[in-house]
């Protein structure tokens, strides 16, 4: 491959990383063509077709991730046990999101949303101090769960300094 082709691919990949709509590519091409050292982008037909194909793909709203299973119970006291486990978890780990749900015939209590198994295992080991039977669980999750994380106290970058 020659240097121009590599440069073209690099620029196109940078464009794909931001937004790949045709209007944005044209705008980006226009913004690169000004100044003392203008950049000229030459699109090849197979690249244009690839961009159109990517634009037509449905947007993903799910991702494979992990959660920690704190409790799974199908006994006659399952609801009470799940509520107790949830309360105990909230007292001990208030910074971690906890969910309780029912899927026939069991109640489940899960904690956290993690993209990697390593991250889930680290948290699971922390939770095992209170819940020794906690395990990691692979689960398909909404991307929104990872995008709208609540800020922890003291983590805000907009806090005013005295």
HSE-up (13 A, CA, CB side) for residue 111: 31
pLDDT at 124: 95
Extract the runs of DSSP E, i.e. beta strands, from 4-158.
62-73, 98-103, 106-114, 135-142
* Structure tokens belonging to residue 134: 């906690």
- Per-residue buried b or exposed e for 92-107, using 16+ beta carbons within 10 Å of the residue's own CB: ebeeeebebeeeeeeb
pLDDT at 157: 43
**98-103 vs 106-114, strand pairing mode:** antiparallel
Residue pLDDT, tens place only, 11-42: 555 555 555 555 566 676 677 767 777 777 77
pLDDT at 150: 54
All domains of the chain in start order, with CATH: 3-56 (no CATH), 62-147 (3.30.70.1070)
Residue pLDDT, tens place only, 128-141: 999 999 999 999 98
pLDDT at 162: 39
- From 107, 111, 79, 117, select the one nearest 98 (Cα to Cα): 111
pLDDT at 120: 94
CB 72 within 8 A of CB 108: yes
R_g over Cα of the chain: 24
Residue 139: strand pairing partners: 65
pLDDT at 11: 58
pLDDT of residue 85 exceeding 50, the answer is yes
**What mean pLDDT, rounded, does the chain reach?**
79
CB 114 within 8 A of CB 65: yes
For residue 73, how many other CB atoms are within 10 A of its CB? Answer: 17
CB 109 within 8 A of CB 71: yes
CB 84 within 8 A of CB 92: no
């Amino acid at each position: 491959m020659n240097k121009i082709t590599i440069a073209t691919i690099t620029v196109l990949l940078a464009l794909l990383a931001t937004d790949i709509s045709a209007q944005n590519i044209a705008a980006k091409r226009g913004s690169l063509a000004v100044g003392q050292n203008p950049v000229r982008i030459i699109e090849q037909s197979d690249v244009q077709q690839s961009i159109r194909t990517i634009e037509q793909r449905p947007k993903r709203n799910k991702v494979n991730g992990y959660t920690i299973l704190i409790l799974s119970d199908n006994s006659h006291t399952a609801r009470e046990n799940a509520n107790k486990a949830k309360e105990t978890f909230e007292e001990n780990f208030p910074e971690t999101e906890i969910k309780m749900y029912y899927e026939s015939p069991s109640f489940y209590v899960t904690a956290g949303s993690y993209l990697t198994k390593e991250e889930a295992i680290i948290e699971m080991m922390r939770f095992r101090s209170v819940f020794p039977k906690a395990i990691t669980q692979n689960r398909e999750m909404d991307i929104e769960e990872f995008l709208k994380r609540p800020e922890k106290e003291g983590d805000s970058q907009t806090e005013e300094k005295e």
